[in-house]
Amino acid sequence: MTKRSQLPQMNGHAMTCGGGFETWLQYVDGFVLRHFCAFELLDDARGHARLTDYHRKLVEAAVENGFGVINEGLHYRASRDWGELIGISREGLEEINIRGIEFYRDFAREYDSPETPMRVGGVIGPRGDAYNVGRTPDAAEAEDYHSEQILTFRKAGVDQVSAVTFSSVAEAIGVARAAKAAGMPVVISFFVKQGGRLSGGETLEEAIARVDAATGKAPAYYMINCTHPTEFEPALTPGDWTRRLGGFMPNAVAMDTLSLCKLGHLEDGDPEELGGQMADLARRFPHINVWGGCCGTDGRHIGEITRQVGAVRHASRAGGGAGIA
């Protein structure tokens, strides 16, 4: 079983990851995703081909610039409540979670090298809607609920659990506790609204402090995803707490995420500009090793992000990655 200390990003390797590709699948490829459940496309020949093409372009862009990849993303809504909405049993969910991990493991086998390490992650999304938040589970309920998917990921042999687009501190605590109980490295990625706060009003610093205090610093590190750098920058207040940040996964454009998902067309912004914005963050936070993308991004954006962030890392000789505490 992978230990936290064995994750390449914890040992200075520059890594990337992708998420939010559901927007591409819907608005470019024309798929109808029931309740945003992209994992269903594993059973569709054209869907499987488009997923393969999307991820291959992302991986090859990263490898070209010397970055490794955390291969993950399909399982964002492959949990009990969402499965019930589309008529999939718990046994069916377990099977498709494991099959999705094998999908990513194929990429890891093909592209892995000492210079560009490939790892496989199991992504977990919130129990409810991340953007139109209603009732959120308390920590105990979240631990019980998310432990099902985490145990499936452990069975499948993933390297890490990535809990993404979380806006509830209590739910993040539950996920971290479930992963800790399963002996799995876990990353918590928060969704912060414009102005830099979570849906409950907490600052990012407050949210991280609360999760760390309640779990004995169970998360390997924290991230921000599904918002644009110009929107989440206010959350990055000065202080030692930022050493707990380990990565960013920005959206391609600055726009309310709920609106972005309902536009009916894709907004993919300017990949070169986004790469420059991430490079600015790399200068500010040289200890951060994970530089990915979320809604609206694809291999072009990952190419620019890894190219420009890689140039900053090389110039500053900041590739050691130490400091994620």
Position 325, amino acid: A
Q: Classify the C-alpha dihedral 173-174-177-183 as positive or negative.
A: negative
In eight-state DSSP terms, residue 115 is S
Closest CA to 271 of 236, 308, 234, 246: 308
> Where do we find the tokens 């454009």?
253
**What rounded mean pLDDT belongs to the chain?**
93
pLDDT of residue 258: 47
pLDDT, residue 178, reads: 98
Distance CA 131, CA 115 (A): 37
Helices (H) then strands (E): counts for the chain: 11, 8
- d(Cα 256, Cα 227) in Å, to the nearest integer? 8
pLDDT of residue 265: 55
Query: What CA–CA distances, in Å, run from 238 to 12, 139, 190, 286?
Result: 23, 28, 18, 14
Ramachandran assignment for 266, one of left (phi > 0), alpha (psi -120 to 50 degrees), beta (any other):
beta
CA distance 58 to 48: 16
**Could you tell me the two tokens for 190?**
């928060």
136-172 per-position pLDDT tens digit: 899 999 999 999 999 999 999 999 999 999 999 999 9
Residues in the chain: 325
Q: Where are the alpha helices (DSSP H) in 157-286?
A: 169-182, 204-215, 229-232, 257-260, 271-284
For residue 100, what pLDDT is reported?
97
What integer pLDDT is reported at residue 322 of this predicted model? Answer: 47
Q: Say which residue the tokens 């099959």 belong to.
A: 99
Between CA 199 and CA 207, with CA 202 as vertex, the angle to 5 degrees is 105
SS3 77: coil
> How far apart (Å, rounded) are the C-alpha atoms in residues 52 and 50?
5
**Closest among 188, 164, 207, 175 to 74, alpha carbons compared:** 164
Low-confidence spans in the chain with pLDDT less than 70: 133-134, 255-266, 317-325
The one-letter amino acid code at 177 reads R
